[in-house]
Amino acid sequence: MTYRIPTILDVLPMLTDLKGKIIVTKIGGSVMRSKETLESFAKDIATMKAFGIKPIVVHGGGPEINQMLEKLGIQTKFQSGYRVTDKETLEVVLMVLAGKTNKHLVKILNDFKANAVGVCGVDANLFECEKDLTFGDIGFVGKIVSVNCDFVLDLLYKGYIPVIATVGSGKDGIYNINADVAAAYLAKALKAEKLIILTDVDGVLVNGEVVKSLTISQAQHLIETSVAKEGMLPKLTGVIDAVKDGVKSVHIINGKIEHAVLLEIFGMTLGTIIKEG
């Protein structure tokens, strides 16, 4: 579906409201493989910054990690949407997520004058974590316990856009962190105005239809009844946490829609919004 891009005059009130506010956008690996999608995303983020909004980008890279693991002949499996991460897998996650994926995204953002800086959760102890045992022992999978907000705010207020790869620092080494959960945790730690999650489906689907709006308890019900599965599980888990902790507005939308981020912040109701309640 294509949407009419609003004019500057249409969106002036929203721009005024959002000036100086922090918006965390998470782009999923599922939508990062198309050059057109990445360019549209980069233009949106650069435009937000040009209008005085403070964007932060958190990225995934699951499919790229899968591809590299396959090339290296390493089997991979997921438990409830989280990659089971042994030592060998962790090395590949680190190499791909904090390396290739992060740098390519930074480059494309900077092609559109975003002034992006790529970091990972290990830098300045951005994400400190402990072993996540929610689903038993699934290896080096981290659960964030604290965020270095000052580091992110310093970058933002010096005019940079932080582009964050989700590995973190733990007592006994580096951990792999699910990118949706990390984005949600960061949004709540920074009391962000909005969290936008871009993925490869039109929103949260129930019986094949997009649900326009979900309360926390409805989202919880979708998890408990296994309507939300695989990659949607960490999204909803993170989002519930973020909404409970004061993030005003959370949206799960299709990142393949051209200018999805700008359309969303300018009030087109795309995808699923998750609200308190």
Ligand X SMILES: CC(=O)N[C@@H](CCC(=O)OP(=O)(O)O)C(=O)O
Query: Which chain residues interact with ligand ADP by CB under 6 A?
Result: 28-30, 60, 62, 180, 199-201, 204-205, 227-232
DSSP 146-215: EE-HHHHHHHHHTT-EEEEEEEEEETTEEEE--HHHHHHHHHHHTT-SEEEEEESSSS-EETTEE-SEEE
Per CB under 6 A, 168 contacts ligand X = no
* Residue 166 interacts with, from ligand ADP, ligand X, none (CB under 5-8 Å by kind): ligand X
Residues in 237-276 that interact with ligand X by CB under 6 A: none
| CA–CA dist 270, 150 (Å, integer) | 32
**Smallest distance, ligand ADP to C-beta of residue 15, A:** 27
Residue in the structure block whose two tokens are 């209008």: 51
Q: Segment near ligand X (CB under 6 A), from 49-57, 60-68, 145-153, 210-218?
A: 60-68
Q: Is 65 helix (H, G, I), strand (E, B) or coil?
A: helix
Q: Segment near ligand X (CB under 6 A), from 38-46, 54-62, 144-152, 203-211?
A: 54-62
* Residue 47 interacts with, from ligand X, ligand ADP, none (CB under 5-8 Å by kind): none
135 contacts 29 by C-beta, under 8 angstroms: no
236 contacts 227 by C-beta, under 8 angstroms: no
Burial class (CB in 10 A: 0-12, 13-18, 19+), 172: exposed
Per CB under 6 A, 29 contacts ligand X = yes
Site string for ligand X, 71-110 (x = CB under 6 A): -----------xx---------x---x-------------
213 contacts 275 by C-beta, under 8 angstroms: yes
- Binding-site residues, please? 61-62, 83, 176
Residue 47 tokens, joined:
């435009």
Please pick, from the candidates 25, 41, 47, 61, the single residue that binds ligand X as defined by CB under 6 A: 61
Q: Is the backbone of residue 187 left (phi > 0), alpha (psi -120 to 50) or beta? A: alpha
Q: Please, which residue, 18 or 23, has the CB nearer to ligand ADP? A: 23
DSSP 216-230: HHHHHHHHHTTSS-T
Please pick, from the candidates 121, 168, 170, 231, the single residue that binds ligand X as defined by CB under 6 A: 231
| CA–CA dist 207, 196 (Å, integer) | 23
* Residue 227 interacts with, from ligand ADP, ligand X, none (CB under 5-8 Å by kind): ligand ADP
Residue in the structure block whose two tokens are 């499919």: 63
Q: Segment near ligand X (CB under 6 A), from 38-46, 112-120, 175-183, 218-226?
A: 175-183
Q: Which residues contact 211 (CB under 8 A, 6 or more apart)?
A: 203, 204, 205, 218, 272
**Smallest distance, ligand X to C-beta of residue 178, A:** 4
**Smallest distance, ligand X to C-beta of residue 150, A:** 25
Residues in 125-164 that interact with ligand X by CB under 6 A: 141
* Residue 228 interacts with, from ligand ADP, ligand X, none (CB under 5-8 Å by kind): ligand ADP
Name the residues that contact ligand X, by CB under 6 A.
Answer: 28-30, 60-62, 65, 82-83, 93, 97, 141, 166, 176-180, 231
